[in-house]
Amino acid sequence: MKTLIFAELKEGKLSSTAAELFTFALSLGASEASAVVLGETVEEAAKELGRLGAKTIYTFSDPKLKFFVDEAYASLVSKVIAEAKSDLILGAATFTGKALFPRLAANLKFPLVTDVSKVESNSPPVVVRPSYGGNVYQKIKLEKTPALLTARPKSFPAARPDLSKNGEIKTGAVDWPSLNVRTSVLEKVKEEAQTLNLGDADIIVSGGRGLREPANFSLVRELAAAVGGAVGASRAVVDAGWIPYAHQVGQTGRTVNPKLYFACGISGAIQHLVGMQSAGIIVAINRDKDAPIFGAATYGIVGDLFEIIPALTKVFKEKLGR
């Protein structure tokens, strides 16, 4: 089975989701993988994709491709899909993937399965995706190909690059008049909170309703600073306006896979668990001994987080010198 991977760039560099998609492809039974990458400059990314196992790397390089534009990206990727004649076209369920792949499906009249979190079998492919806010899981069998699929970030381990591998790089021309692009991105302005990279963090300290009020998020930030981690949050506190959406972990936020995850005052609703349950070690702090979060936790601390978090912060500061 031949697969084509849409590889995203992040700040001009290959996104970590690209390596995850190669593992996704293998789990689907791919016998051959190719990739397509678009951006202002893509030479280094193309070489990286070759080391990850792409047999052919289709590239489009142009200053106007620095930022994602639906119409342009969809037109160019559609051309590659027609040339590559792959059975499965794979992408990540990121902001870009969620905008691009439905457009590709509509243009090409291909079936689309989004937010895949697991592959059950590969002959024929059977994939699993969360639905209804993560309350149920759908099992979907792909009856025919070609088909489009997007994978939830951090659902599959990243493939390791092999320095001995080199893919064939095919450079495509960007003929703007023929693309009929009606919009362009002039500038991308980052919200301060978005400077953190929650998806790539090795340690995350998340807070929930148990913190009682926005001001108490300072406890979470102090613990995160002490352990050198990023700050996360449950949907409830984001919806309440305590902290920006960029920090949200869960079904409607970020899917994360850190080595260490602290859940502070988070009850453990399924929507939150879907986004963090694959963490290496989960430490839950909650005064309710029956909170669902303890079912997913590696270590559980039942007690008052207003006493426990400062005590942990003090110990980590002393031990790590932060």
**pLDDT > 70 in the chain, percent:** 97
Give the pLDDT confidence score for residue 189 in this predicted structure. Answer: 74
Residues 262, 140 within the same domain: no
Q: How many domains does the chain have?
A: 2
- Which is it for strands 125-131 and 118-122: parallel, antiparallel or unpaired? antiparallel
184: in domain: no
Does the pLDDT of residue 147 top 50, yes or no? yes
Query: Is the pLDDT score of 134 beyond 90?
Result: no
Higher per-residue confidence, 91 vs 137: 91
Q: What is the pLDDT of residue 198?
A: 82
The 8 Å CB, 24+ separation contacts for 216-220 are 216/306, 217/242, 217/243, 219/264, 219/305, 219/306, 219/309, 219/310, 219/313, 220/264, 220/309
The predicted pLDDT at position 196 comes to 58
pLDDT band, very low/low/confident/very high, at 194 (cuts 50, 70, 90): very low
pLDDT tens, position by position, 229-243:
999 999 999 999 999
Q: Choose among 256, 212, 253: nearest CA to 230.
A: 256
- Domain membership flag for residue 83: yes
Q: Is the dihedral of CA 185, 190, 191, 195 positive or negative?
A: positive
Query: 152 is in which domain, residue-wise?
Result: 2-179
Q: Are residues 153 and 6 in the same domain?
A: yes
Residue 133 confidence (pLDDT): 63
The answer, yes or no, to whether residue 192 has pLDDT greater than 80, is no
Q: With 80 as the cut, is the pLDDT of residue 149 above it?
A: yes
Handedness of CA 246, 9, 279, 312 (dihedral sign): negative
Taking the C-alpha atoms of residue 45 and residue 38, their distance in angstroms, rounded to an integer, is 9
Tens-place pLDDT, residues 24-58: 999 999 999 999 999 999 999 999 999 999 999 99
Could you tell me the CATH number of the domain that includes residue 172? 3.40.50.620
Mean per-residue pLDDT over the chain, rounded: 91
Structure tokens at 214: 């926005």
Residues 90 and 160 grouped into a single domain: yes
Q: What is the CATH number of the domain that holds 277?
A: 3.40.50.1220
Type of residue at 272: H
Q: What does the alpha-carbon distance between residue 65 and residue 39 come to, in Å, rounded to a whole number? A: 5
- The model's pTM is 0.77
Task: Say yes or no: 219 and 90 in one domain.
Answer: no
> For residue 156, what pLDDT is reported?
92
CB 25 within 8 A of CB 125: no
From 156, 179, 202, give the residue that closes a domain: 179
Q: Which residue has the higher pLDDT, 91 or 136?
A: 91
Is residue 141 within 8 Å of 125, Cβ to Cβ?
A: yes
Residue for token pair 């919009």: 183
Q: Average pLDDT, stretch 158-174?
A: 92
Residue 208 is assigned to a structural domain of this protein: yes
Whether the pLDDT of residue 73 is over 50: the answer is yes
Task: Tell me: do 168 and 264 sit in the same domain.
Answer: no
- Based on the fold, state whether residues 123 and 7 are members of the same structural domain: yes
- Give tens-digit pLDDT for 282-302: 999 999 999 999 999 999 999
Q: Quote the pLDDT of residue 270.
A: 86
Q: Do 17 and 75 lie in a common domain?
A: yes
Give the integer Cα–Cα distance in Å for 120 and 14.
28
| Tens digit of each residue's pLDDT (9 = 90 or more) over 77-124 | 999 999 999 999 999 999 899 999 999 999 999 999 999 989 998 888
pLDDT of residue 122: 85
DSSP state of 132: G
Report CA-CA distances (Å) from 234 to 46, 228, 244, 297: 37, 20, 11, 16
> Do 168 and 276 fall within a single domain?
no
> Is the predicted pLDDT of residue 308 greater than 70, yes or no?
yes
Among the candidates 144, 179, 214, a domain finishes at: 179
Q: In terms of domains, do 19 and 84 share one?
A: yes
